[in-house]
Structure 1
Amino acid sequence: MGDGFNFENLKTAILALSRATDWATARREWVLTGVYEADQPETCLCEHFPIIEICVIKNTITQAVAEVGNVCVKRFLGIRSDLIFAALKRIRKDITKSLNEDAIVLCLKNHLINQWGYEFLQDTKRKRSLSERQMSKRMDINRKVLTAMAHRGLRT
């Protein structure tokens, strides 16, 4: 993993919010807890401006919460948040579409869906032809996800 855009600024800000004093250990303290699209451009911890696709990360030890851009979360945590944003855009455009693997896992981890919902979405994510009942359930879950991740994102 190479140093990214304003990487030293990100590193300094994350270390200040972490218990660990070295970067390798501090990185392991953080998890992605939500994503949202900002109404107005914001500034990332790395000081990059403008960012619209915001990732909410939380330190599991200090409970500190930070908001970073999707590029920094990818470089920092190795999570492909761009795929989560792509899934959200897809279901916002067409509520009958399916979420992708990354979005489904984020929803489960943040208790937006239960184990049954997780298995349902996994089983039907590649299916184009669903029964009326399955499609209704998919649309219900998609609406719930869009509502939870709108306006400052999913919070845990």
Structure 2
Amino acid sequence: MTNKLIWLVFVITIITIPASAYTYKPGVTGTGWEYVDWDKVSWWNKQVIGIGYANCKLKIALYEKKLAYHQAHSDATKIARAELKLKAKEKYCRENTRPYESDFWNEFAEAFPLLVLMFVVAIIFLLRPIVRRIFSPKLWRHARKAIKTKKE
């Protein structure tokens, strides 16, 4: 039971660290990218912003494909609706996402403490069975008996 509980806490911790990046808001109005001090934005938040930008680009490409399909096969209302969706998505992407180009080593340095923590936790999990055997009462009982018989 305790082993499962420890793994559960470990997994929840690993999941919540990057998930906390979603609390970042780019600016007061949502268009304040020019006011963001990128040196103060955490590594996780930069990744989320970059993922958001890539996701927007994919959705724009999808809306462009849908528009091309409607232009070839549909009536004017569907074409107009597809154009409106495409323009709205382009506006949203322009205002709320931003491509983030960064230096790999700076990002690695920011993530290094978390990587060390994960490595230490993994080592602890790997060493647990060995430490349990060393400090088990059964082993010490045998050791005490061996010492007593040696003295006698």
Asked if these proteins are the same fold (TM beyond 0.5), I'd say: no
Kindly indicate which of the two structures has a greater share of residues assigned to helix. Answer: 2
Kindly indicate which of the two structures has a greater share of residues assigned to strand. Answer: 1
Q: Which has the larger radius of gyration?
A: 2
